[in-house]
Structure 1
Amino acid sequence: MLCHTQSIHVMGLAISLPLRSFGIGPGKAFWYGQLSGLVEIVAGILGVCFVQLANSLLPFALSFAAGAMLFVVFNEIIPEITSQNRTMSSWWLMGGFTVMMALDVISFDEFIMSVTHCIFDLDGLLLDTESIYTECMQQLCAPYGKNFSTETKLEMMGKSALEAGQILIRELNLPMTDEEFLAKSNELYTQAFPSAELLPGAERLIRHLANYNIPMAIGTGSSHELYTLKISGHRELFKLFDPVICTETKEIRLTKPEPDIFLACAEKFPNPPISMSQCLVFEDGENGVRAALSAGMRVVLVPSLPLSNYDPWILKHVTLKLDSLLKFDPVEFGLPPFDDV
């Protein structure tokens, strides 16, 4: 956006200054320069469409655009302004370029745009369901002499029930169909999940954000049926979330690490964010972190497993790592401070 704004300014100057030198009034010269920039709106829309198809060409195209702007500045603008007041013009020119370069270095999304929306994973982040989930999977695998490993669990996290079952069957070579897995796992879940408790710091953070009208969403790999089962002991608290995006049993499209589920959350907020970088995602799983980063959102990782089990790339690229939600400081992201601090 900064480059686009600069190009409009340069194009406007390139039109207005020559018109003034030919005796056209300042008002007309100004508006002719402004009107010349309107074509960039159309070109910008076409450019967005083109970028989706030509990401690999983008660095070269931006370099060409920057070179064209510099050419206009040095060929047209500098000779025009230095012919009248060389010293003052040079100082203003250097000052303007200094400010421009400083603004280019600063990331607007992170510096100017504070967090306005929060998106939460469910299992292992807000609710202590990971230990329950592990126990259920171990019970399911035990009759076949198989062990439910941490590696398999990490691969399954964030997936739909069907896709998670397919991973489990494939990795452990279980002699069962997808339908048998769904039936057996649902039977175990129905008995175990209603006892799920909130994890430390979850209720405090949720109620704090709600008190300050910070929009909150849930993006979970659980089906709506399982989600309802898991939150059955905390229904009033979870009414504070809108929207709640679940992943239905046989749905593949929205599963993490694809960004779809978090993009759907952002889109369905009553007042959607201006930029995806204004969304802060809270996650405990690798797949969820990858999904949030792919969506262009900031991520707080609160691991439900030892950090040694996580991909080093994940640990490097998350915005923040915390041992517990109790250690989250909302002020770091431009959110209101806790009232009890």
Structure 2
Amino acid sequence: MSIDPPVTHVLFDMDGLLLDTEAVYTKVTNDIVSRYGKTYDWDLKSKMMGMKERDAGELLVRTLGIPMTVDEYLAERNAGHEALFPHCRPLPGVMKLVSHLKKHNIPIAVATRSHRSAFELKALGNPLVDPRSCLVFEDSNPGVLAGLNAGMSVVWIPDPNLKTDDPTLGERVSDVLGSMEEFQPEKYGLPPYE
């Protein structure tokens, strides 16, 4: 498979794709809700992924019926994240690819929706002329859909616990991989690994 035009920019979703943060999100929320005899499972987590912080908090509090306000939940959750995020490590294959792209002067951007009400994208001083020349790495269904809707090429590295309501999603992306280690840059017009 060849991408036309060739990739000139790469966009990474940070959480769960570059850094092993998904375990932190799950642990912190489970620690909070378990005090009330509740469990934060993948069914609820998948509904919350991609939502704005407050909307996700409201869904969690309402669905699990925990006796906390949304503000109380978010304050405790954010404090737990701040304590654990500094210990997150890059996922397999990430450092190899990021170093490779940097070596070949391929502009890289990182996107995240965590703790933000708006999605920000910066192409690091190199304007993106054609969205089709931007390769997006995503793990969440909403992120994949956002990349596709923007007209970008999407490499989907789904979390094995995450289910999708769209059985055609895998057919609509450029590639579906088990991890970043499986990525082959030359398939996208990027310099091959040495």
In structure 1, the partner of 2:101 is 209
Mapped pair 1:137 → 2:29? yes
In structure 2, the partner of 1:310 is 164
Cα 1:173–1:333 shift into 2, 3 Å: same
In structure 1, the partner of 2:185 is 330
In structure 2, the partner of 1:26 is none
In structure 2, the partner of 1:151 is 43
CA distance in 2, matches of 1:149, 1:306: 10
Cα 1:202–1:181 shift into 2, 3 Å: same
Name the structure where helix makes up a greater proportion of residues: 1
CA distance in 2, matches of 1:111, 1:190: 39
Amino acid in structure 1 at the alignment position of 2:148 = L
TM-score, normalising length from structure 2?
0.91
In structure 2, the partner of 1:265 is 121
Structure 1: gaps (5+ residues): 1-109, 224-247, 255-260
Amino acid in structure 2 at the alignment position of 1:282 = F
CA RMSD of aligned residues (A): 1.7
Give every structure 1 segment of 4 or more consecutive aligned residues whose post-TM-superposition deviation is greater than 4 Å: none
Aligned length: 192
Name the structure where strand makes up a greater proportion of residues: 2
Match 1:286 to one of 127, 130, 141: 141
In structure 2, the partner of 1:113 is 5
Match 2:132 to one of 261, 274, 277: 277
Shift of 1:208: 0.3
TM-score, normalising length from structure 1?
0.53
Shift of 1:171: 2.3
Shift of 1:297: 0.8
Kindly name which structure, 1 or 2, has the bigger radius of gyration based on alpha carbons. 1
In structure 2, the partner of 1:183 is 75
1:159-208 per-position Cα deviation (integer Å, ceiling 9, x unaligned): 33222212212322222222111111012112222111110000000010
Amino acid in structure 2 at the alignment position of 1:156 = M
| Contact kept? 1:121, 1:219, Cα under 8 Å | yes
CA distance in 2, matches of 1:111, 1:139: 44
Cα 1:111–1:208 shift into 2, 3 Å: closer
Structure 2: gaps (5+ residues): none
Shift of 1:111: 5.2
Identity %: 41
